[in-house]
């Protein structure tokens, strides 16, 4: 009986040793891989030498704006999306959302294709000889001038198209001036026109508060106003045309000081439009396109003329009234690309908005419809 108990004790001890050995390993400090709570977001732009900008959106965080290739580590998990900005001369990549999981890497690869196809999209139609055009944030201001610029008569008014709401809104009916418009940093709209039934050596200017629609007249100018440009400091350059060799052609109003303008150019002749790349003014006559050199002297830029110009620091966008085309010229290579041709009516103003990199045009309409079939267009890539 004592022998059996001894064997039983030995068996119990053996079982306990086996259990203890099974819980041991050669590693005295065992570890487990923890759940990773962040990941990596990579942004890659092709071609690699393209300076494309973009906006990255992610979970529970503000949008991030950047340019070119970038890598963001230790990013919060969840869904991300990217908006690729337009690069003139290239097809914009599609925006495809990606989901970031723990410890993983997601890559947004934006491949910009060459040889884009452009088209014109109608934003607002049935306009009556629209002429003035200016982009201010989400508003595209334009004027209708059939009542002063056609023999058929019609409306004269200032309106804006809301890019967020896709609506057209009238600001002022029958303003005194309507041929050219700019918007200052305080949101006030400045208008200019030539005086009389035909362009001469006199013009008028006024300012309208969009909140009230009230127009305030400014001092008259000795210039047949046709176009305007405003810089980031609210300095306005006013262009006028006249066949008189001594006529005043460019007025400069520093910081909205309309009492003390400076005459910067005289005798430019029959000029159509004014453009500016931020440092250099450009203008187009009935025959050619010029730029103002650093010494203040006009220099021939192109043996072509355009009804309207608008510039970035790298490109010149133009509207050709008589060929009914819209195009762009690379200021570095001088390559001229027709963006849209065969429009239903002549384009009279073009504006490139540097902030959004969008292009807007107004076409005047046709005489068959008494110039009441004009439109505000946006030029897009497909």
What does the buried/exposed string (b/e) look like for 76-112 if buried means 16 or more CB atoms within 10 Å of the residue's CB? ebeebebebebbbbbbbbeeeeeebeeeeebebebeb
Give which of 118, 228, 121 is closest to 183, Cα–Cα: 228
pLDDT average, residue stretch 344-352? 96
pTM for this entry: 0.80
CATH number of 38-114: 2.60.40.10
Q: What is the DSSP letter of 165?
A: T
Contact at 8 Å (CB) between 318 and 302? no
- What is the structure's pLDDT at 1? 45
Model pLDDT for residues 270-294, shown as the tens digit of each residue: 899 999 998 899 999 999 999 999 9
- Please give the Cα distance from 240 to 273 (Å, whole number): 9
Contact at 8 Å (CB) between 362 and 349? yes
| All structural domains of the chain with their residue ranges | 38-114, 118-381
- What is the structure's pLDDT at 245? 84
* DSSP H stretches of helix in 248-346: none
Model pLDDT for residues 219-252, shown as the tens digit of each residue: 988 888 999 999 999 999 999 988 888 889 999 9
- What is the structure's pLDDT at 242? 85
Fold category of 118-381 in CATH: Neuraminidase (2.120.10)
Phi, psi (degrees; rounded to nearest 5) at 225 = -60, 130
């Amino acid at each position: 009986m004592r022998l059996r108990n001894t064997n039983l004790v030995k068996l119990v001890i053996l079982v306990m040793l086996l259990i203890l050995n099974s819980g041991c390993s050669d590693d005295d400090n065992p570890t487990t891989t923890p759940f990773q709570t962040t990941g990596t977001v990579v942004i890659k732009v092709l071609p690699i030498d393209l300076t494309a900008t973009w906006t990255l959106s992610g979970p529970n965080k503000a949008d991030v704006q950047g340019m070119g290739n970038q890598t963001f580590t230790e990013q919060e998990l969840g869904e991300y999306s990217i908006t690729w900005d337009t690069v003139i001369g290239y097809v914009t990549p599609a925006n495809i959302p990606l989901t970031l999981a723990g410890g993983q890497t997601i890559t947004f690869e934006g491949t910009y294709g060459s040889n884009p196809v452009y088209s014109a999209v109608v934003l607002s139609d049935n306009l009556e000889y629209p002429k003035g055009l200016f982009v201010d944030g989400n508003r595209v201001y334009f004027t209708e001038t059939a009542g002063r610029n056609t023999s058929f008569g019609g409306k004269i008014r200032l309106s804006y198209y809301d890019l967020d709401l896709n609506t057209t809104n009238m600001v002022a009916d029958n303003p005194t001036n309507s041929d050219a418009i700019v918007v200052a940093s305080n949101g006030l709209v400045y208008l200019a026109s030539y005086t009389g039934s035909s362009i001469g050596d006199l013009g008028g200017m006024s300012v309208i508060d969009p909140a009230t629609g009230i127009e305030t007249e400014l001092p008259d100018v000795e210039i047949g106003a046709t176009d305007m440009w405003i810089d980031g400091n609210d300095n306005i350059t006013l262009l006028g045309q006249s066949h008189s060799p001594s006529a005043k052609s460019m007025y400069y109003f520093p910081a909205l000081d309309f009492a003390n303008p400076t005459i910067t150019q005289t005798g430019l002749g029959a000029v159509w439009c004014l453009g500016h790349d931020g440092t250099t003014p450009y203008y187009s006559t009935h025959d050619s396109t010029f730029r103002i050199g650093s010494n203040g002297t006009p220099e021939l830029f192109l043996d072509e003329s355009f009804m309207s110009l608008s510039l970035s620091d790298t490109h010149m966008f133009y509207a050709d009234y008589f060929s009914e085309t819209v195009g762009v010229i690379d200021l570095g290579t001088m390559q001229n690309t027709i963006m849209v041709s065969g429009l239903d009516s002549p384009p009279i103003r073009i504006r490139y908005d540097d902030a959004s990199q969008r292009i807007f045009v107004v076409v005047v309409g046709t005489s068959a419809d008494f110039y009441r079939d004009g439109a505000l267009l946006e030029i897009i890539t497909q």
